[in-house]
Chains A and B, each alone.
Chain A
Amino acid sequence: MSDAHTHDAKKHIKIYVIVFVALALLTAVTVMVASLEHSVTLAVSVALFIAVVKGSLVAGYFMHLISERKAIYSLLILTGILFVALLFLPLAALFDQQGVAHVS
């Protein structure tokens, strides 16, 4: 039993190292892209996109989400939906504001 565990762990370690290198590289890319002169929208989009990729790597491999159980997935999907609601509904309310000079 311990042999299978050891073998599994060794395979995983290889993946961890690859993920680490990817994370470091992506960090460097984020900083480099941000320092180039771009419109705010583009900068936001690229930075957030890379952040999502990095986050997915940490969640998927370091936190083992990629092989996790349905209960955890369902919990996270539910949380994700509510997170999006919390992030964007107040913003929508702000844009729909009446009688105030429109926000930039």
Chain B
Amino acid sequence: MSNSADAAAPYHVTHAGHHEPGFWQKYVFSQDHKIIGVQYAVTSLLFLFFGFCLMMIMRWQLAFPGRPVPLIGSLLGEASAPGGILSPEFYNSLGAMHGTIMVFLGVVPLAVGAFGNYVVPLQIGAPDMAFPKLNMMSYWLYVPGGLIMLASFFAPGGAANSGWTAYPPLSDIATTGQTMWLLGMVFLISSSLLGSVNFITTILQLRAKGLTFMRLPFFVWAQLVTAFLLLLAFPPLEAAGVLQLMDRLAGTSFFLPSGLVVAGQALGVSGGGSPLLWQHLFWFLAHPEVYVLILPALGIVAEIIANNTRKPLFGYRSMVYATIFLGFMSFLVWAHHMFLTGMGTAINTFFQTTTMIISIPSVIILSALFLSLWGGSIRFTTPMLFALGFLPMFGIGGLTGLPLGLSATDIPLHDTYYVIGHFHYVVAPGTILALFAGIYYWFPKVTGRKMNDRLGKMHFWGTIIFMNVVFMPMFIQGLAGVSRRLYDGGAQYAHAAPVLEWNLVMSIGAWMLAVAQIPFVVNFFRSIWKGERVTDGNTWSATTLEWSAAPSPPVAHGNFAVVPTVYRGPYEYSVPGASAGFIPQNVQEKG
């Protein structure tokens, strides 16, 4: 407990009066960031799988509109799928819930809750997060939020079906499922807020001695900026959610304009509200949210590239400044989602300008990652394959965003399949590839065993090929004018006829993508028990503290047998004149 010796060892493992916690405290309501990280990983992977299944059902309807869904059609219930054929409303709930679940229950909890929680304290040489109890509460707010979302499928009228964007007036008058969506979001936002307070405090306060900001692994920078985005962008959505709940439950008209007529009858509310108000508040969160989706992925890819090229990242400093600038700008671009709402040229110009400006830091980061490959001694490990695959996929996603970010070219593309193609490229062959990379990379740290390489490579090739089969044709359909959120995939519109055949191609691609995940699932579970044991805690010969200073898995309480001190930057690979091929951050002598 003495504070005077804090300089060298600010904490130490104390056994005096330490009683062993019971099963519930240890594994269920754990306050250990490593266990919480694993909890987040397992839960989010299950939600990702569920969201994926929702999409596969949708793709049946798109490939074969009006045909009963095979195998499970009868299980969907007569209300949602009479005779096994998806009703339009049910198709819409599948769409709304697919988006909601993938973004809020799948990707972010995995990228931030799992990877962030597990890796950040280790990479900064900390014994845990700054607020372990808060960390536990974050996870246990996420779970009920997710369960409410799942339960909403059983509400009368089904789950939310007004899009993940929940635009009023439709969402205001939608069935009960929408109320459950809003309640679920309140839980998820609260979980996220507690988490972001924890991440920022941890990174600022618990860095090991010698770990200055410019010696932080890029992954930690990415998580730091992400935490700021979550902290400051989510509250307006929480406010908007409260307002929409008031509209739905207390008869207010925050988002309901005067004179609204529903199904031939005037709505008996006071009116005077603004649907655009919801859009402003929603997108104020949802735009920074997309950077929340990508930044941790960029962080993971950066770590893996440095490690597998055996050289420092190119332009580390530029990447850091670009990330900070990106985070700041992300708050000022949101109305590029609203170019078609009747805003005038002045405002459209403002937001289109900020959107073009924000593409600069993205390009800087992506270029730096590409340039990091030059002159590298590349090891094509499974994590590296996924990291390399990420780069061009994110490039396509980013480039296809440009015509959307320019107001004039957005006019024919808004709300078409082009948009769906664009954002899926960044998140699916983008972020999700990076998350897979992270799983293969850090699996040995968490379990002490390696995943199988051959299965990993099968997984990689199947995934990247079929992701492109699913998402590339969307640009074709979008450019032809096929709108998004059409339950028949455009079959009823003449202008969609020439490109309708792509629906079958994309659906087959989606089902093949599912098959391509089998080697991953098999590999994952088999490796937990039968994977090749790592002999050296530093499986990948990496420089960062989670590898060089902690065993695999880390010490249960406190992570490190000896608290590390940091003497150098994060990527000292192939240092000229050094005796070893890499110098970990906590090694003092140059060798």
Contacts and interface: CB of A to CB of B under 8 A. Distances in A.
Direct interface between A and B, CB < 8 A: yes
A82 B234 CA distance: 12
B399 to A, nearest CB: 27
B331 A98 contact: no
Nearest to A100: B342
B204 A79 contact: no
Chain A, interface SS category = helix
Contacts of A79: 232
Contacts of A98: 342-344
A97 B236 contact: no
B580 interface: no
A84 B133 CA distance: 33
Contact of A93 (B280, B328, B331): B280
A96 interface: yes
Report the contact-size class of chain B (Cβ under 8 Å from the partner).
20 to 34
Contacts, number: 42
Given A85-B331, A90-B280, A96 B232 contact: no
Q: By CB atoms of chain B within 10 A, which of A78, A79, A90 has the most?
A: A90
Nearest to A83: B232
B505 interface: no
A78 B350 CA distance: 20
Given A79-B232, A90-B280, A96 B347 contact: yes
Interface string A60-95: 000000000001000000110010011001101110
Given A71-B204, A85-B332, A92 B347 contact: yes
B300 interface: no
A94 B341 CA distance: 10
A85 B338 CA distance: 16
A93 B232 contact: no
Contacts of B284: 86
B335 interface: yes
Nearest to B236: A86
Interface string B206-238: 000000000000000000000010001000100
A79 B332 CA distance: 13
B277 interface: yes
Contact of B277 (A90, A97, A100): A90
B71 interface: no
B343 A97 contact: yes
B266 interface: no
Contacts of A94: 276
Interface in B517-555: none
Contacts of B228: 78
Interface string B23-34: 000000000000
Contacts of B232: 78-79, 82
Query: Would you list the 8 A-B pairs with minimal beta carbon distance, nearest first?
Result: A96-B344, A90-B280, A96-B347, A93-B347, A93-B343, A98-B344, A96-B346, A82-B331
18 contacts: A71-B204, A78-B228, A78-B328, A79-B232, A85-B332, A89-B280, A89-B347, A89-B350, A90-B280, A92-B346, A94-B276, A96-B345, A97-B342, A97-B343, A98-B342, A98-B344, A99-B342, A100-B342
Given A92-B346, A96-B345, 8 more contacts: A79-B232, A86-B236, A89-B280, A89-B335, A93-B276, A96-B344, A97-B344, A98-B343
